[in-house]
A and B are shown apart, each in its own frame.
Chain A
Amino acid sequence: MKRALVIGGTGFVGMNLVDALLERGHEVAVTYRKKSITVFVSKRDVELLPGDLDDPESLVAAMRGKDVVFLSGGHYPRYSLDRRGAIDAGVRGVRNACRAALEAGVGRLVYTSSIATLERLGDERLATEDDIPAAAPAESVYRATKWTMERELEFAREAGLDVVCVLPGGCVGPWDARMGTGGLLVGTVRAALPWMVDGLVNVVDVRDVARAHLRAAQLERPAQRYNVAGHILPLSELLERIVARYGGSLPPERLDAEQARARAEAEERAAAPQRGRVPMPRELVDIITWSQPVSSARALEDLDLEFTPLDDALDGAHAWFERFRYLPKTSAQPRRTP
């Protein structure tokens, strides 16, 4: 691989992927849209190209001459209020990207999916890449959207596209401008989470996820899917660790799964008219209450991966959030977690 295009290269996983590619001497191009946060990536030695998943011509133009395309910028609904709309938008974007890759003659497409596409096993087993639900999960718009988007890749494979999927857990680390899992860290340190629900979560350093993408692009005969789930622990333990390390406080109210889903949905309905953010999005509640531990054994072996320790991953995220004022700047070093 020499020439790579990163769709979503101005985003969280994408920015870390751009840095991993540049470190290894690859030529990198990145697509951007009107609202993309380009200030960071524009300081790097990359080619910035206009590209929108709803504009197939822009995708073909951006992909021409590229050996590998990383699709790290799929549809990510802010709210879980419109199941049909979210699925349609997600599928349309993946379909357009795959058709463009076929038309442009791209050698391989590496797609950033999510462990949320996996089955809920309901016991203590770790889910593997083969545990795929037979139908889109009914109880979660986010999981249904991601599941359906990934299924769309099957049509592209049948048409001859070489596609590898990377399924990350909840990512933490630098360049998390739109705050996914990182919102839990910021919310806890700011003592701004009013409530929580507990469940097992899988947390991974985003730089490990970036490395996994790179290696998935380079393997001669990769598997179709790689879980890069990271560390498995209860959410309550993760938040306690954050408080012990950086300060803040645990959410004062603890809800059960059903209460949490109802509360998150009500808060999203209230926030939606102003496009506001909610402290605990329904999508996050769905992933926490899914509570499924996930095995990354295949990725660790095939992609020669080693997970960054959780405290180091959290430190990377915390430092970035301080640097860009998501958190007040302090001179204190993180306290060692016992």
Chain B
Amino acid sequence: MKTAEERRTFIIHAIAEILEIEPEGIQGESQLREDLGMDSLASLELLSTISREMNVDLEMEEAMDIATVNDACVFVERHLEAGATGASASPA
């Protein structure tokens, strides 16, 4: 997964697999909890898949407050950049 677009596609497919729904039904603005029915357990499964497959260390406390699919993608990109530069991924 070299590009942000590939990573976005991966995240959407991972959400679809965990929730057992079709990826076509997942939009960027979809609310993970309210629209897609993702609970804490499903969130932890998603974060585990992302951190393993992308080899990225995620801030868990912050991750649990991610609201939308777009937010999840931005969150992952920020952590990947921080991992590459050695900086903290937390917002200043």
A: residues with CB less than 8 A from B are 10, 35-40, 42-43, 177-179, 274-275, 323-326
Cβ-defined partner of B48 (8 Å) among A37, A178, A324: A37
CB neighbours of A10 from chain B (8 A): 48
Distance in angstroms between the alpha carbons of A179 and B44 in the assembled complex: 13
Cβ-defined partner of B52 (8 Å) among A42, A274, A323, A326: A42
**A42-B51, A275-B20, A325-B64 known; A37 vs B57 contact (CB < 8 Å):** no
A interface SS class: loop
Q: Which 10 A-B pairs have the closest CB atoms?
A: A38-B48, A39-B48, A325-B64, A37-B44, A326-B40, A39-B47, A37-B48, A325-B40, A177-B44, A324-B40
- Say whether A39 contacts B58, CB under 8 Å: yes
CB neighbours of A326 from chain B (8 A): 40
CB neighbours of A325 from chain B (8 A): 40, 43, 64-65
B interface SS class: helix
Known: A37-B48, A38-B48, A177-B41. 9 other contacts (CB 8 A): A38-B52, A39-B51, A39-B58, A177-B44, A178-B41, A275-B20, A324-B40, A324-B44, A325-B40
Distance in angstroms between the alpha carbons of A38 and B52 in the assembled complex: 8
**B61 interfacial by beta-carbon distance below 8 Å:** yes
Distance in angstroms between the alpha carbons of A178 and B60 in the assembled complex: 17
CB neighbours of B47 from chain A (8 A): 39
**B81 interfacial by beta-carbon distance below 8 Å:** no
CB neighbours of B40 from chain A (8 A): 177, 324-326
Q: What are 26 residue pairs bridging A and B, where the CB atoms are less than 8 Å apart in the complex?
A: A10-B48, A35-B45, A36-B48, A37-B41, A37-B44, A37-B48, A38-B48, A38-B52, A39-B47, A39-B48, A40-B60, A42-B51, A42-B57, A177-B41, A177-B44, A178-B41, A179-B41, A274-B20, A275-B20, A323-B61, A323-B64, A324-B60, A324-B64, A325-B40, A325-B43, A325-B65
B: residues with CB less than 8 A from A are 20, 40-41, 43-45, 47-48, 51-52, 57-58, 60-61, 64-65
Distance in angstroms between the alpha carbons of A38 and B53 in the assembled complex: 11
Give chain A nearest CB distance to B10 CB in angstroms.
Answer: 14
**A43-B57, A178-B41 known; A38 vs B20 contact (CB < 8 Å):** no
CB neighbours of B43 from chain A (8 A): 325
Cβ-defined partner of A38 (8 Å) among B41, B51, B61, B64: B51
Distance in angstroms between the alpha carbons of A325 and B41 in the assembled complex: 10
CB neighbours of A35 from chain B (8 A): 45
Distance in angstroms between the alpha carbons of A179 and B39 in the assembled complex: 12
Output the residue of B44, B48, B60 with the most chain A CB within 10 A: B48
Distance in angstroms between the alpha carbons of A219 and B33 in the assembled complex: 47
